[in-house]
């Protein structure tokens, strides 16, 4: 680099540091600025010879993370210092003890929680899951660990463009799987939305760009619509002397894409593309009546949809969110969501946990359920006998997006995640009641334990001392408390059955004049094709292995053991093993860092075809599976098993046919079916596997499974079908 460029970099570092201090100034106490300066100097010295993959000096990253902590989350000096130093322990000789000596116990504790674990991980476990678990272990001490970690993740996502494609996929999938729901759970809606949008930008770049273009193209008419919509409301609120601001807020790109995908509709058919937010400046005692007065004004001018009223002012969400939402019909026939809240509520909605604590002392503020949720997380953390992956799955269940509100027989309100069952409610009351639950009465009607509860239900739990949890319960229990208790109970049941089984095995071996030693145990495991003694004893104890079979090992000749399957320790050795074992070559996919041609199979969950954006996944028993980036299982595979993901890229190939599916909808007419099949079979010479078309009152809904060569072939077919008179939309689906 030239002297001039280095000088410009130094100036930019100073500019960013001053910007940080400027935003922090309102809450700095005496001596805080000196502590921040000391942390900045230490961080700059530690990272002086380091650069990010983008080429910029590394110090830009801790500065940016500290800036997010202050400006976007509303955290104070301790968090700023922790953000500036969060990579110092990992990147230098400095230890946590040195941090504690210079900056105190609180900062040291936070940085300890943020320091990444070593790169060594066992095959089949997930480095990311272990990392996440370690970070959450500090949650009981200081929630700022999570908040600084979210700021760190947000900046990494903002600068993900300089990373290679396969790393973009892994990091963004991990983000949507854990970090975006975590931001939501802590009430950080702005950060949650940005993380979701950035996930889409890297996982579905073409779809992301398409939605952005369409949003930008509709900006002028949208702004005009918002002005006309809010005009009568503004006049009326001014007349009533309210202090307020009104914003027109477009829906996030991710939520638009999510709606298009889940409802299988085009961008043009997403009607609620934006929301109107009315923010009131009111004293605490006037907040609730003030919000309802404004609701009355809005519904005087526009007809509300009674099914879309959401009152989180009377009953706040458990992450502290308070707001009144209604959806109304505009004069042009478009549905518009209107959000009504106060300045305090808006700050909590944007800055979540940090803002919640700022207002906590107010006697008019309803305590949010954040403390209760953190208490539940601690319960999960106490069960340290589960694997990291299992732990992350349980934690994921606690990051629900929607909540329901149900009542005990005495009228006490309980908050549960959406899709919660009567059994979840039982565990919420008490873990012992959950373990003995045999059914429930919901609104005085008898229901089974897997009955899905709805907001407003009144629930009475029925129990029996003879009841015991079984594995089937895990299929419908969604709360962490319930799942943890069920798993603990199942482990105890398994140990008890295994103990009984071991007694039976000892007795049968004694009758055959054999000892229970490692040699005979290996023979038994080999005979029944089992991996562990515990599994063997358990199956004997449960009566699933006939005890008479045990004696037969006396006369059995040891079969040569099957050669143990080689465990994949890394992608390179896996590729080498495959190449040595088979001379097979395919010409459709290049896989791995070296873009080699090696054997693979197409995942049945998403049926990739040439031209699709894909990745390779090293499965334990089935070699390399190729998945589409948009596969329903992709997010989980990429986030939980990132080390087993391989780059994969289609190259030119011979014409091979791949099975895919198309849904066709539109208005029915005579000859419609004939036109559709003509386009497919005659014009484009595509083979169909199955066709199903139903017509109801002039509307037809069709589903066709067919064989295509690649995405270009599929796109050509889709466009031809869309041009048929009466066809409204043609959408690909996974067969």
DSSP labels, 364-412: TSPPPTHHHHHHHHHHHHH-TTS-HHHHHHHHHHT--S-EEEEE-TT--
Classify domain 371-479 at the CATH superfamily level.
Beta-grasp domain (3.10.20.30)
Q: What is the pLDDT of residue 610?
A: 78
Q: What is the pLDDT of residue 441?
A: 93
CA distance 81 to 107: 7
Q: How many CB atoms lie within 10 A of CB 9?
A: 15
CATH of range 658-733; options 3.30.70.260, 3.40.50.720, 2.30.29.30, 3.40.50.300:
3.30.70.260
Q: Quick check: helix, strand or coil at residue 567?
A: coil
Q: What is the pLDDT of residue 276?
A: 92
The answer to whether the beta carbons of residues 663 and 692 sit under 8 Å apart is no
Q: In DSSP terms, which residues pair with 245 in a beta bridge? A: 279
Q: Is 594 a catalytic residue?
A: no
| CA gyration radius, the chain | 30
Q: Quick check: pTM over 0.85? A: no
Residue 669 has phi, psi (to 5 degrees) of -160, 170
What is the domain partition of the chain in residue ranges? 3-202, 211-358, 371-479, 488-554, 571-650, 658-733
Average pLDDT per consecutive 10 residues, the chain (735 residues; last block may be shorter): 83 93 88 92 88 87 94 88 89 85 88 56 45 58 79 93 85 85 81 94 92 87 89 94 89 89 81 85 92 95 90 83 91 88 88 61 46 60 55 58 79 84 93 92 91 90 91 87 86 85 85 80 78 80 78 58 45 48 46 61 83 81 82 80 75 62 85 80 71 80 82 83 86 78
Q: What is the pLDDT of residue 121?
A: 31
Q: What is the pLDDT of residue 660?
A: 84
Q: What is the pLDDT of residue 117?
A: 35
Q: Quick check: helix, strand or coil at residue 143?
A: coil
Q: Is 91 a catalytic residue?
A: yes
Q: What is the pLDDT of residue 231?
A: 94
Q: What is the pLDDT of residue 398?
A: 57
CA distance 587 to 653: 6
Q: What does each C-alpha distance from 193 to 70, 397, 402, 587 come to in angstroms?
A: 18, 20, 15, 41
Q: Per CATH, which fold does 211-358 belong to?
A: Beta Polymerase; domain 2 (3.30.460)
Residue 466: half-sphere exposure toward Cβ, Cα within 13 Å? 0
Catalytic residue among 9, 12, 90, 210: 90
Q: Per CATH, which fold does 3-202 belong to?
A: Hypothetical protein af1432 (1.10.3210)
Sheet of 699-708, strand order: 688-696, 699-708, 658-667, 727-733
Q: What is the pLDDT of residue 559?
A: 45
Burial state string for 443-479 with b = 16 or more CB within 10 A and e = fewer than 16: eeeebebebbbeeebebbbbbeeeeebeeebeebbbb
The answer to whether the beta carbons of residues 20 and 5 sit under 8 Å apart is no
Q: How many CB atoms lie within 10 A of CB 680?
A: 20
Q: What is the pLDDT of residue 583?
A: 42
CA distance 655 to 98: 64
Q: What is the pLDDT of residue 600?
A: 80
Residues 6+ apart with CB under 8 A from 298: 233, 278, 304, 326, 328, 338, 340
**DSSP E strands, 16-122:** none
Q: In DSSP terms, which residues pair with 458 in a beta bridge? A: 407
Catalytic residue among 91, 367, 492, 584: 91
């Amino acid at each position: 680099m030239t002297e001039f460029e280095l000088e410009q970099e130094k100036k930019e570092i100073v500019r960013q540091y001053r910007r940080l201090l400027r935003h922090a100034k309102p809450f700095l106490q005496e001596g805080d600025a000196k502590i921040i300066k000391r942390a900045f100097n230490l961080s700059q010295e530690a990272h002086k010879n380091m650069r990010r993959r983008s080429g910029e000096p590394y110090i830009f990253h801790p500065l940016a993370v500290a800036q997010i902590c202050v400006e976007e989350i509303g955290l104070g000096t301790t968090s700023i210092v922790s953000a500036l130093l969060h990579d110092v322990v990992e990147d230098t000789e400095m230890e946590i003890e040195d941090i504690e000596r210079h900056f105190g116990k609180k900062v040291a504790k936070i940085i300890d929680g943020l320091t990444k674990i070593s790169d060594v991980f066992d095959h089949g476990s997930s480095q990311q899951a272990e990392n996440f678990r370690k970070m959450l272990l500090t949650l009981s001490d200081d929630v700022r660990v999570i908040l600084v970690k979210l700021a760190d993740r947000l900046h990494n996502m903002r600068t993900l463009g300089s990373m290679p494609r396969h790393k973009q996929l892994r990091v963004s999938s991990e983000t949507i799987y854990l970090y975006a729901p975590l931001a939501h759970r802590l009430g950080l809606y702005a950060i949650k939305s940005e993380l979701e949008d950035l996930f889409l930008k890297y996982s579905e770049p073409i779809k992301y760009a398409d939605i952005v273009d369409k949003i930008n193209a509709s900006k002028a008419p949208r702004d005009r619509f918002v002005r006309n919509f809010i005009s009568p409301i503004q006049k009326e609120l001014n007349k009533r002397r309210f202090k307020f601001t009104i914003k027109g807020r477009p829906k996030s790109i991710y939520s638009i894409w999510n709606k298009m995908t889940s409802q299988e509709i085009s961008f043009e058919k997403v009607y609620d593309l934006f929301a109107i937010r009315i923010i009131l400046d009111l004293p605490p005692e006037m907040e609730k009546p003030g919000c309802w007065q404004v609701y009355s004004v809005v519904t005087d001018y526009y007809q509300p949809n009674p099914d879309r009223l959401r009152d989180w002012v009377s009953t706040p969400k458990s992450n502290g969110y308070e707001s009144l939402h209604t959806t109304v019909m505009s004069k042009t026939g478009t549905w518009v969501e209107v959000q009504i809240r106060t300045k305090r509520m808006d700050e909590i909605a944007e800055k979540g946990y940090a803002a919640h604590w700022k207002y906590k002392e107010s006697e008019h503020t309803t305590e949010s359920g954040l403390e209760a949720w953190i208490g539940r997380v601690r319960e999960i953390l106490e069960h340290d006998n589960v694997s990291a992956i299992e732990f992350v799955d349980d934690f994921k269940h606690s990051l629900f997006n929607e909540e329901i509100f149900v009542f005990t027989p005495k009228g006490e309100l309980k908050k549960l995640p959406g899709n919660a069952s009567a059994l979840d409610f039982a565990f919420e009351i008490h873990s012992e009641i959950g373990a003995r639950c045999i059914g429930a009465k919901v609104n005085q009607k008898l229901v089974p334990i897997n009955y899905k509860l709805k907001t407003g239900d009144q629930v009475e739990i029925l129990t029996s001392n003879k009841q015991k949890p079984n594995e089937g319960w895990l299929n419908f229990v969604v709360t962490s408390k319930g799942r943890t208790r069920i798993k603990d109970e199942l482990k105890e049941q398994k140990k008890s059955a295994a103990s009984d089984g071991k007694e039976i095995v000892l007795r049968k071996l004694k009758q055959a004049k054999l000892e229970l030693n490692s040699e005979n145990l290996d023979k038994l495991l080999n005979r029944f094709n089992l991996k562990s003694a515990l599994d063997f004893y358990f199956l004997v104890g449960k009566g699933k292995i006939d005890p008479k079979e045990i004696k037969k090992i006396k006369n059995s000749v040891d079969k040569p053991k099957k050669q143990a399957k080689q465990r994949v320790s890394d992608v390179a050795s896996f590729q080498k093993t495959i190449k040595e074992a088979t001379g097979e070559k395919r010409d459709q996919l290049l896989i791995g860092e070296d873009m080699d041609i090696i054997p693979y199979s197409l995942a049945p969950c998403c049926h990739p075809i040439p031209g699709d954006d894909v990745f390779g996944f090293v499965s334990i028993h089935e070699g390399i599976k190729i998945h589409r980036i948009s596969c329903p299982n992709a997010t989980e595979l990429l986030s939980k098993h990132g080390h087993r993901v391989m780059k994969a890229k289609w190259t030119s190939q011979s014409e091979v046919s791949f099975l895919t599916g198309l849904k066709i909808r539109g208005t029915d007419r005579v000859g419609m079916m004939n036109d559709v099949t003509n386009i497919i079979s005659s014009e484009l010479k595509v083979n169909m596997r199955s066709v199903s078309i139903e017509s109801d009152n002039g509307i037809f809904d069709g589903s066709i499974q067919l064989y295509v060569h690649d995405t270009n072939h599929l796109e050509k077919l889709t466009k031809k079908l869309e041009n048929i008179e009466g066809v409204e939309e043609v959408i690909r689906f996974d067969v």
